[in-house]
Structure 1
Amino acid sequence: MPQLIDAFARKFYYLRLSVTDVCNFRCTYCLPDGYRPNGNSNKSFLSLDEIRRVTHAFAELGTEKVRLTGGEPSLRRDFVDIIAAVRSHRQIRTLAVTTNGYRLERDIAGWRDAGLTALNVSVDSLDPRQFQLITGQDKFRQVMAGIDAAFTAGFSKVKVNTVLMRNVNDIHLHSFLAWIKTRPIQLRFIELMETGDGGDLFRTRHISGDTIRRQLIPMGWQLQPRGRSDGPALVFRHPDYQGEIGLIMPYAKDFCASCNRLRVSATGNLHLCLFGEDGIPLRDLLGEDRALELLKERISGGLRLKKQTHFLHEGNTGSTRNLSFIGG
């Protein structure tokens, strides 16, 4: 099996595929003014066949895990078909989705039947009023019901993403811990990241995930080993809790040393980093199955351009205007 390896000997087993940049939430850290089409608005999102071809090409290059992202991926009317198309390649062992959860209660059983194996739900507050202030939507109870529905549908664990913000949710750690004590939820605190549109919020609300780590360790939480196709979270477990805590800290030293993931945007560009420059076009090779070898060559060749690290520490956010653009 060929492998995707860059110039720094990092191996890539994990693809994050955006299927739309449209979202129906207005989260303060991503789309505070709601969805607005980007400069590629005249270009349609990848079709079902194109999604099948690009994910199968990655699978033949050693990719084991695919995450469907957005925007909000479940806004695609063919979302169930997308799940089935990706899972149709036997090399793809894990197929995950990151969702805001608003359709979860209704649709999660169908997603699981189609082949979904893992689920991430965005929940930035456990207080319904604060949830609405952050997301612009009064959907807290609907999202919570969706998480319950996921367990009913057969998921043994659900990951919950919480964007860590100073004096917003960092002050409620004990409420989050109480929530996961009897629930098999991996609660992942994700450091707020600076984007082209979000500089002011970043300067006001950014706080290091290390502030959470320093509280966990004295309580008896222990860091766990990391699997080769896992995401970037540092995962902590405690013997008295069913749930886990994950910390995603992109500003931490050596964060990029363990990078194992690549990204493809909803319009078919390969992005080597969430905060890199404009992507490498793949779409011209997604029109027919016979272009598969050329597609694989372009993906592999593109890895030669991947830099050793992002430049977030220098305030350089690359081409990422907001986190819906290439799937966060």
Structure 2
Amino acid sequence: MSGLTDRYGRTAVDLRVSLTDRCNLRCTYCMPAEGLAWLPKTTLLTDDEVVRLVSVAVEELGVREVRFTGGEPLLRPGLTEIVARTTALEPRPRVSITTNGIGLTRTAAALEAAGLDRVNVSLDTLRPERFKELSLRDRLTDTLDGLAAAAEAGLTPVKINTVLMRGVNDDEAVDLLAFALEHGYRLRFIEQMPLDAQHGWRRDEMVTAEEILASLRAAYTLAPSDKPRGAAPAEEWLVDGGPATVGVIGSVTRPFCGDCDRTRLTADGQVRACLFATTETDLRGALRAGAANAELADLWRGAMRAKKPGHDIDDPSFLQPPRPMSAIGG
């Protein structure tokens, strides 16, 4: 079996699958208040098509981790069944979702029963009014309840993803870590990336990994984790000697492209070799034209062979992908 190895010797074993480009929040750094022009329903992969392509990735191409994303994946009506069918594949992949947490109170137990291993929940503030300003929805309580429901259902470790923005929520780093430590969640701070629909990202407005660590060190002692990082995007730090940790993902200032092990599938069936790719490979068209699994696998291999060595954000020629994060999948 030949896997998804690119020209630079990296092998993709981690698949991110977007199930929808729709979301029930309107986070200002992600999409405009009025939302976006959603993908036509006829272009979206059906549940059967999602599972078919995931099975190709797992059974033919050596993928070991599958994460379902969006948009907001909990908006996908067939999510639980998709998870159950994915965890039934051989060899069984580890399966997780990235979500805003809204809806986990009603779905966490069913997702765990379907075999879901864990969740990542996006949470950028603990202040209700600030949450409303950032997301244009008054749903902080729902997100916090969703975190608790995930933990109660055993979807652990429950991870929190936080994007700090200068002059917006960068004063909450310590509070967010204290909250995560109190509840046993694993917090990861992520540098804001140029993936907003408005194309308004500016590097000088981004809170850097170094600034995040400096803020945390004002209240905690941080030491590098002795756990090998491997292809993980987060640098892990022991908090006050451990065992609790905090992660920092410096996608822009501390890129980890050389160790990247990810491949991405959009909700409309396009393979992306990189989060910042400006080209895609269409699997949906081939699948609907009757392609066999071997043909789909070959198309996927070709897409990954064309992967660039890095995202080139610091290069003057860098172009932001035409699709925003909500359409690419986190």
Common fold: TM-score over 0.5: yes
User: Which position in structure 1 is the counterpart of 2:279?
Assistant: 278
Deviation at 1:289, TM superposition (A): 8.4
Q: Deviations over 1:160-206 (max 9, x none)?
A: 11112112222222211221223221111111112363443535731
Q: Runs of at least 4 residues of structure 1 off by over 6 A?
A: none
Deviation at 1:85, TM superposition (A): 1.9
1:45 has 2:16 as partner: no
1:15 touches 1:263 (CA, 8 Å); kept in 2? yes
Structure 2 CA distance for aligned equivalents of residues 8 and 284 of structure 1: 28
Deviation at 1:43, TM superposition (A): 3.8
User: Which position in structure 1 is the counterpart of 2:314?
Assistant: 313
- Matching residue's letter, 1:302: A
User: Which position in structure 1 is the counterpart of 2:210?
Assistant: 210
1:326 has 2:328 as partner: yes
Deviation at 1:215, TM superposition (A): 4.5
2:58 touches 2:93 (CA, 8 Å); kept in 1? no
Change beyond 3 A, Cα 1:277–1:200: closer
User: What percent of counterpart residues are identical?
Assistant: 33
Structure 2 CA distance for aligned equivalents of residues 25 and 299 of structure 1: 32
Change beyond 3 A, Cα 1:148–1:71: same
Q: Deviations over 1:81-106 (max 9, x none)?
A: 11112212132431010111110111
**Equivalences for residues 15-94 of structure 1 within 5 A:** 15-38=15-38, 40-41=39-40, 43-60=42-59, 61-94=61-94
Q: Deviations over 1:280-313 (max 9, x none)?
A: 0011333498711111111112222110011222
Structure 1 CA distance for aligned equivalents of residues 264 and 286 of structure 2: 17
After the TM superposition, which of the residue ranges 52-61 and 190-199 deviates more from structure 2? 190-199
Q: Deviations over 1:57-92 (max 9, x none)?
A: 111211100110110111111111111122121324
1:142 has 2:145 as partner: no
1:17 touches 1:263 (CA, 8 Å); kept in 2? yes
User: Which position in structure 2 is the counterpart of 1:7?
Assistant: 7
TM-score w.r.t. the length of structure 1 is 0.91
2:238 touches 2:245 (CA, 8 Å); kept in 1? yes
Structure 1 CA distance for aligned equivalents of residues 283 and 50 of structure 2: 11
1:298 has 2:299 as partner: yes
Structure 2 CA distance for aligned equivalents of residues 291 and 207 of structure 1: 46
Structure 1 CA distance for aligned equivalents of residues 40 and 177 of structure 2: 41
- Matching residue's letter, 1:200: G
Structure 2 CA distance for aligned equivalents of residues 90 and 288 of structure 1: 26
Q: Deviations over 1:131-167 (max 9, x none)?
A: 1111111111111111111111113321111112112
Unmatched runs of 5 consecutive residues or more in structure 2: none
Structure 2 CA distance for aligned equivalents of residues 226 and 65 of structure 1: 18
1:112 has 2:112 as partner: yes
- Matching residue's letter, 2:256: F
Structure 1 CA distance for aligned equivalents of residues 277 and 49 of structure 2: 23
Change beyond 3 A, Cα 1:262–1:138: same
- Matching residue's letter, 1:11: T
Change beyond 3 A, Cα 1:62–1:226: farther
2:187 touches 2:247 (CA, 8 Å); kept in 1? yes
Structure 2 CA distance for aligned equivalents of residues 81 and 286 of structure 1: 21
Aligned pairs, number: 326
- Matching residue's letter, 2:44: F
